[in-house]
Every structure is written in C-alpha cells, then in structure tokens.
Amino acid sequence: MSYLFDSGNWEWLWTGNNFKFLLEGFLVNLEIALIGIVISLIFGTLLALMRISKRRVISVPAGIWVDVWRNLPLILIILYLALAVPSSWRQAYADAIPGFFPEALQDELVLGALLGLVLYNSAVLCEIMRSGIQSLDRGQHEAAASLGLTYIQQMRFVILPQGLRRMVPATVSQLITLNKDTTLVSIIAIQEVIGRAGNITSASGFFGGVPAPVLQVYLVVGLLFVIVNLALSRLSRRLEIRERERTGTTIERVKGIEDQVAAETDVITSR
C-alpha cells in the first residue's frame, strides 16, 4: 500500500516534460475519437436508412453487413486493416489530409485505425439509429403521409430529425466507448497515450532521473480517461433530460450500457 502512496513514485508527474508528453499523447486519442465518431455518424445514418428500406434488396445486405461488423472485436478489425490496407490508400490519405490537422493524425498508419473504427462504429450506430427511428410512433408516419408528404419528404422533415435527435444521448454514449477504444490503436504503433506511457516508464529507467513506475503512470492515464468520459456522460444525461422536457416522451435508456445493449433495452414511456 505504501508503494501506492509513496511520493517518490509520483514525482515523475511534475518533473520534466513527462506530463506534457503524456497529455500530448492523450490528445491524439481524443482527436481520433472525434473524427471517428463524426465519420461513423455519417455512415451509420446511411446504413440505418438502408436497413429500414422497404426494398429487401437493400435492407438485407445492409443487415448482413451491419451484423457482421457489429459482432467482430474491434481489435481484430484494426489489426487486420493495419496489415491489409494497401499502401496506395495510405499514401492517398497522407496526401489528402489537410495540414492544419495535428501531426499524429497525418501519419498514414492512422488510416487503418480510422477505417477500423468507422467500420465497426458505423454498424453499431446504425442499430442505435434504427431503433431511434423505429421508436417513433407509427402515427407520425401516417400523419405525415396524410399531409401529402412523399416517403422521402416524410423521412427528411418528420421522421429523421426526431429519430436523430433522440439518438444524441446514445451517440454521446458511443463516443465514450469510442474514446476508450482508441487505446487499441497503440497495438499498431500509433503514438498515443498508452505508447507514450510506456516510453515514460522505459526512459526513466534508462536515462535515469526520476523513477516513473508503471502503476502510477497508468493510474494517471486511467484518470485522464475517467475525467473526459465522465464529462461526456454528464453531457449525455443533460441532453436526455432536455429531450424529455421538450417532447414529453422519454427514451429511458439503460444508462450508458455499451453498444447494442442500448438498442435492445430501450423502454419507451410516454406521458
């Protein structure tokens, strides 16, 4: 126990460049997560629309696609893509990415990681969106139809906006999961917080100076995640409350459960 609290073991935190080094790495995780969720949202919505299409030619293959990616471990997908993405794509990515993006993201290996994150999360978000859209009362569809709106117009002006809005808390929740998942890219040698934490512990041993023990360093890493994710989940809760106030219907989601669970245990209560 004394090992845990011995101040000598925590000295690395305020000595030298260590904390800044760690923080820079953490920012990479956050950036990847942000970009990941945005792109995943776009594709997820597209997939959801395909899934609820009346034409089976569209909905069935989309369904298979989503079910496959949703059920695979993200780390398997990332490891595979790190090997399988052709270098021409990677070059294209490195060239296409604008200069104002942070340096870590300009690295071409990030493409494999982003691709994996998007493939997986778009499938997950698709299911969340789908349940959001389908949770809307039948009545909305009929009402919209009786107003003379075509299917597309119904979707665009009535169904989708409401469905998407309902899914905002769930999406923020998914962002939290995505945040955690970004640590997986450390396994394909992308310079983010876990790799940097390892550097700190190795360097302290080799170059001497203040010792940076593994336990303390990674506890700090964990803390960084808790802080950010906690803030995000508070945001999510606020959004849910706002939604409830506004529309009078609630999706009483089992709070914060990962991925698919959210879609399956939604309880809709109307007042």
Partner 1 sequence: MERKRWHLLALATVVLAALLFAACGDDDDEEPAADEPAVEVEQYPADTTPGKIQEAGEITIGVKYDVPPFGLNNPQTGEVEGFDVDLGNYIADRLGVDAEFREATSDNRIPLLVDGTIDLILSTMTITEERDLEIDFSEPYYVANGDVLVPGDSDIQALDDLNGKRVCTALGSTYADTIKKEAPDADLRLVDLYSECFDQVQTGSVDAVSTDNVILTGMVIQDDTLELLGLDYTTEPYGIGLPDGDTEMKGFVDEAVAEFISSGAWQETYDEWVGQHLSEEQQQGPPDVTLEEALKLFPLEK
Partner 2 sequence: MSELWEVLTEHLPEFSSGLWVTVRLVAIAFVIAMVVGTLVAAMRIAPNRWLNRAGGIYVETFRNVPLLVLLIIAFSGFPRAGVSVSQWVAGMACLGLYTAAYIAEALRSGVFAVGKGQVEAALSLGLTYPRTMRRIILPQAFRTVIPALGSLIIAMIKNSAIVGGSLVALPDLLKKTREVQADTAQPDEVYFWGAVGFLLMTVTVTLVFRYLESRFSIRR
* Residues of the shown chain interacting with partner 1 in the complex, contacts defined by CB under 8 A: 16-18, 21-22, 24, 27-28, 30-31, 34, 82-83, 86-87, 90-91, 100-104, 107-109, 187-189, 191, 195-196, 198-203, 205-207, 209, 214, 242, 246
Euclidean distance between the first and final Cα of the chain, in Å? 52
What tokens were used for 97? 């990415």
Q: What 3-state DSSP class applies to 208?
A: coil
Residue 80 in contact with partner 2, rule: CB under 8 A = yes
As a whole number of angstroms, the distance between CA 236 and CA 255 comes to 10
Instruction: Quote the CA–CA distance of 75 and 89 in Å, as a whole number.
Output: 21
In the chain, count of helices (H) and strands (E)? Answer: 14, 2
Q: Which does 119 bind (CB under 5 to 8 A by kind): partner 2, partner 1, none?
A: none
Amino acid at 267: V
Question: 66 or 155, CB closer to partner 2?
Answer: 66
Q: Which stretch binds partner 2 (CB under 8 A): 10-18, 41-49, 153-161, 177-185?
A: 177-185
- Using CB under 8 A as the binding rule, the residues of this chain from 83 to 102 that contact partner 2 are 83-84
Residue 194 makes contact with partner 2 by CB under 8 A = yes
CB of 109 to partner 2, least distance (A): 15
Of 61, 73, 67, the C-alpha closest to 116 is 73
Handedness of CA 91, 97, 98, 101 (dihedral sign): negative
User: Residue 90 or 244: which CB sits closer to partner 1?
Assistant: 90
The nearest distance, CB 100 to partner 2, in angstroms, is: 28
Per DSSP, what are the bridge partners of residue 112? none
> From partner 2, partner 1, none, which one binds at residue 73 (CB under 5 to 8 Å depending on kind)?
partner 2
**Which range of residues in 36-44, 135-143, 179-187, 239-247 is near partner 2 by CB under 8 A?**
179-187
Residue 61 interacts with which of partner 1, partner 2, none, CB < 5 to 8 Å by class: none
Q: Diameter of the chain by CA atoms?
A: 76
Q: 208 CB contacts (<8 Å, ≥6 apart)?
A: none
Helix (H, G, I), strand (E, B) or coil at 102: coil
Interface residues with partner 2 (CB under 8 A) are 1, 3-4, 68, 71-76, 79-80, 83-84, 176, 179-181, 183-184, 186-187, 194, 213-216, 218-219, 221-222, 225-226, 229-230, 233, 252, 254-261, 264-265, 267
